[in-house]
């Protein structure tokens, strides 16, 4: 099959990471996959030979998803949106995919609705319409108004064959965070969690005994790094803390923070070996995005989650609360975050019983390939 996966990450890089994992699964199964990315560059993510098409990139203005900025930080104008839409249509017309997957839309990215709708119309106009699927994580941002859920239902009914839900229906059904109508329920296909194969421990033991602090690959989480730096200064054990900063200016921010860092702190841009390092770490301090949560489960590392909750976000809090039922995982809300509370939480999880790395339930990418292949084969020609 020829597969196109369309994704625009606006704040963190989790959506792009999941799209790349899906594309690699298609490639490994002998299919052709291309990822059409509309977000900023994410050099810490490897595409492993996956073909990528880069649209003129956008990012949100912090947590204000109603204001989108271009690569230079200028508010995006009509010309940029027109260029993105033309590229999307041209790509789907030239690729003539058998399967088209839109990451998050229509359950999010509503501000990009016109370009997604143009893409979907172009796909429906192809000589043989592709199988069209939406791809969503385990927990969505609940709609703030009933009209948003109604709009998503209407778009799914009009354009989509299936909604691929990357979770376990027995663990986190979509209904936990989204009103699932009868019509939508009939199109849901649960794939299991989408994660890359478990990383091997780092060959050089990088990260051994460290407190590794991360906040994904985007520009969020500065308050977590500031607090971790203060906690490291208070740490009576003088354990090694390593802060891995994401975002476009990670190198500059790392250098600025290092000027006031004590000897037991390393601050550097996010590393591609992050997942390997977790196997050796004493503990992880992080947000609780989808991909990070799966990394924690696969590695078995002790963890303190500080779920992202700016702009009334609840997704990460719901996920963190569920995971905190496991040994060696605690949740620290931003409202209670301080150097002292972070240090206390780290100390607490370090005393918790060991938690074995989890190996089952992460084959969502492989299941996605199988589900879409079977649906495509059953799809009428023409």
Tell me, what's the pLDDT at 220? 78
| Res 171: pLDDT | 79
In DSSP notation, 269-287 reads E--TTHHHHHTT-SEEEE-
Phi then psi dihedrals of residue 303, to 5 deg: -150, 145
Q: How far apart are CA 111 and CA 144, in angstroms?
A: 15
- CATH number of this structure's domain 211-350: 3.40.50.2000
Give the per-residue pLDDT at 155.
98
Give, rounded to a whole angstrom, the gap between the first and last alpha carbons of the chain. Answer: 16
Handedness of CA 166, 169, 170, 174 (dihedral sign): positive
Provide the pLDDT for residue 211.
98
pTM here is 0.82
pLDDT in tens, the chain (382 residues): 999 999 999 988 889 999 999 999 999 999 999 999 999 988 777 777 899 999 999 999 888 888 999 999 999 999 999 999 999 999 999 999 999 999 999 999 999 999 999 999 999 999 999 999 999 999 998 898 999 999 999 999 999 999 999 998 887 899 989 999 999 999 999 999 998 888 889 989 999 999 999 997 666 788 999 999 999 999 999 999 999 998 878 899 999 999 989 999 999 999 989 999 999 999 999 999 998 999 999 999 999 999 999 877 888 998 999 899 999 999 999 999 999 999 999 999 999 999 999 888 899 999 999 999 999 999 887 5
Q: Give the residue ranges of DSSP H helices in the chain.
A: 14-28, 78-95, 113-124, 146-159, 182-185, 222-234, 250-258, 274-278, 290-299, 315-323, 339-350, 364-378
Residues paired with 99 in a beta bridge = 3, 131
Q: Which of 41, 36, 46 minimizes the C-alpha distance to 3? A: 36
Q: Do 211-350 and 2-195+362-378 fall under one CATH topology?
A: yes
Q: What is the CATH T-level fold of the domain 2-195+362-378, as seen in this structure?
A: Rossmann fold (3.40.50)
Domain boundaries, the chain: 2-195+362-378, 211-350
Q: What is the pLDDT of residue 64?
A: 86
Inter-helix orientation angle 250-258/222-234, to 10°? 20
């Amino acid at each position: 099959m020829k597969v196109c996966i369309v994704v625009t990450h606006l704040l963190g890089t989790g959506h792009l990471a999941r799209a790349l994992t899906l594309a690699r699964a298609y490639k490994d199964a002998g299919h052709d996959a291309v990822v059409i990315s509309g977000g900023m560059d994410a050099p810490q993510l490897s595409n492993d030979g996956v073909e990528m098409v880069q649209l003129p990139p956008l990012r949100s203005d912090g947590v204000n998803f109603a204001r989108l900025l271009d690569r230079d930080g200028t508010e995006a104008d009509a010309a940029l949106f027109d260029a993105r839409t033309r590229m999307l249509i041209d790509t789907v017309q030239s690729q003539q995919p058998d399967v088209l997957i839109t990451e998050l839309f229509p359950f999010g990215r509503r501000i990009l609705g016109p370009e997604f709708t143009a893409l979907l119309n172009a796909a429906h106009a192809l000589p043989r319409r592709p199988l069209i699927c939406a791809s969503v994580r385990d927990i969505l941002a609940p709609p703030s108004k009933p009209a948003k859920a109604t709009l998503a239902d209407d778009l799914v009914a009009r354009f989509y064959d299936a909604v691929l839900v990357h979770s376990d229906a027995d663990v986190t059904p979509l209904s936990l965070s989204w009103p699932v109508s009868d019509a939508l329920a009939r199109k849901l296909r649960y794939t299991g969690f989408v994660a890359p194969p478990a990383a091997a421990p780092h060959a050089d033991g990088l990260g051994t005994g460290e407190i590794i602090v991360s906040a994904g690959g985007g520009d969020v989480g500065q308050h977590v790094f500031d607090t971790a730096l203060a906690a490291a200064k208070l740490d009576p054990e003088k354990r090694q803390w390593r802060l891995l900063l994401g975002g476009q200016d990670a190198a500059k921010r790392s250098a600025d923070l290092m000027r006031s860092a004590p000897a037991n702190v390393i601050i550097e841009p996010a590393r591609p070996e992050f997942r390997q390092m977790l196997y050796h770490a004493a503990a992880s301090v992080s947000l609780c995005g989808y991909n990070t949560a799966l990394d924690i489960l696969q590695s078995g590392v002790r963890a303190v989650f500080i779920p992202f909750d700016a702009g009334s976000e609840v997704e990460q809090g719901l996920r963190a609360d569920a995971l905190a039922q496991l040994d060696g995982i605690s949740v620290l809300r931003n409202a209670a975050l301080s150097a002292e509370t972070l240090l206390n939480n780290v100390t607490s999880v370090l005393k918790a019983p060991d938690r074995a790395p989890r190996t089952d339930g992460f084959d969502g990418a492989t299941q996605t390939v199988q589900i879409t292949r079977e649906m495509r084969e059953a799809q009428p020609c023409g």
